[in-house]
């Protein structure tokens, strides 16, 4: 299933979402300019490497929890992540405010990275990508707008069908598929499956569910009153 748009309108311009997308694109263009050898070194240095994170834990390893969110392994990796952020990120930014959303996004990314590290302690493969942070956005969305409609493209043999499904159904199915594959990776004792950090997706999503509830509780909706009209 591939999301095309959602039905939830946004009441403000999502500056932070656009900024995150722009940074990811610019960093990827820099990656492309490095060549294969330079790129391998770059990803090893700025990606999140579980074994290195555990054995050499320090300020630089903490930094890689953040830097890995802005790296991508290919065009399709970048495009799919940024498209999902473009569709769902604006509403969470609208709900939490620009700076609250930035904190939320980065916190979900950190939780995603730590989850993946905990499930693949001996891995020396650098984890890169915004998927974990964006999974947090999806977790926030399913809690905040469960009845919003998501226009989805579904390939059936050689025909692509367009259907609208509730966000709770679309994102719930996505989460279950990530968790299922994550458990399959545990059975193989890798923590990874097919080169994808599935547990980062699971950890980011759960973090998004929790954080959006906490942060929404502290932030009043624009149309609610915390006083009594006289």
Q: Answer yes or no: is 227 within a domain.
A: no
Higher per-residue confidence, 122 vs 142: 142
pLDDT on residue 131? 95
Q: Determine the distance from the C-alpha atom of residue 210 to the mean position of all C-alpha atoms in its chain, rounded to a whole number.
A: 14
User: Domain range holding 152?
Assistant: 2-218
Q: Answer yes or no: is 224 within a domain.
A: no
pLDDT on residue 50? 94
Phi, psi of 9, rounded to the nearest 5 degrees: -75, 155
pLDDT on residue 182? 81
Residues 33, 178: Cα–Cα separation, whole Å: 32
Q: Answer yes or no: is 61 within a domain.
A: yes
Using only C-alpha atoms, what is the Rg of the chain? 18
Taking only the tens place, the pLDDT of each residue in 12-38 is 999 999 999 999 999 999 999 999 999
Residues 69, 46: Cα–Cα separation, whole Å: 10
Q: Answer yes or no: is 209 within a domain.
A: yes
Q: Answer yes or no: is 208 within a domain.
A: yes
The CA distances from residue 78 to 54, 81, 82, 128, in Å, are 27, 5, 6, 11
pLDDT at 222 over 60: no
* pLDDT confidence tier of residue 216, bands split at 50, 70 and 90: confident
* pLDDT confidence tier of residue 217, bands split at 50, 70 and 90: confident
pLDDT on residue 106? 98
With pLDDT > 90 as the criterion, what percentage of the chain qualifies? 78
Higher per-residue confidence, 120 vs 83: 83
Tokens matching residue 29? 């263009």
pLDDT on residue 57? 93
Number of domains present in the structure of the chain: 1
Q: What is the mean pLDDT of the chain?
A: 90
- Give the CATH number of the domain where residue 146 resides: 1.20.1540.10
Q: Answer yes or no: is 166 within a domain.
A: yes
pLDDT at 128 over 60: yes
Taking only the tens place, the pLDDT of each residue in 147-199 is 999 999 988 888 889 999 999 999 999 999 999 888 876 655 554 544 678 89
Q: Answer yes or no: is 97 within a domain.
A: yes
Q: Answer yes or no: is 225 within a domain.
A: no
């Amino acid at each position: 299933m591939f999301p095309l748009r959602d039905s939830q309108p946004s009441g403000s311009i999502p500056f932070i979402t656009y900024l995150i997308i722009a940074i990811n694109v610019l960093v990827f263009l820099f990656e492309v300019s490095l060549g294969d050898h330079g790129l391998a070194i770059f990803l090893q240095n700025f990606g999140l490497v579980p074994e290195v994170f555990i054995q050499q834990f320090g300020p630089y390893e903490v930094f890689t929890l953040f830097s890995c969110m802005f790296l991508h392994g290919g065009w399709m990796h970048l495009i799919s992540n940024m498209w999902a952020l473009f569709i769902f990120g604006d509403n969470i930014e609208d709900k939490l405010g620009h700076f609250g959303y930035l904190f939320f996004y980065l916190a979900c990314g950190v939780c995603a990275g730590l989850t993946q590290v905990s499930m693949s302690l001996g891995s020396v493969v650098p984890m890169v990508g915004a998927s974990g942070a964006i999974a947090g956005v999806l977790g926030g969305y399913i809690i905040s707008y469960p009845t919003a409609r998501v226009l989805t493209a579904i390939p059936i043999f050689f025909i692509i069908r367009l259907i609208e499904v509730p966000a709770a159904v679309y994102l719930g199915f996505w989460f279950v598929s990530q968790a299922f594959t994550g458990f399959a990776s545990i059975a193989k004792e890798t923590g990874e499956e097919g080169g994808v950090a599935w547990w980062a997706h699971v950890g980011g999503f759960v973090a998004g569910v929790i954080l959006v509830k906490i942060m929404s509780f502290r932030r009043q909706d624009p149309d609610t009153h915390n006083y009594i009209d006289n």
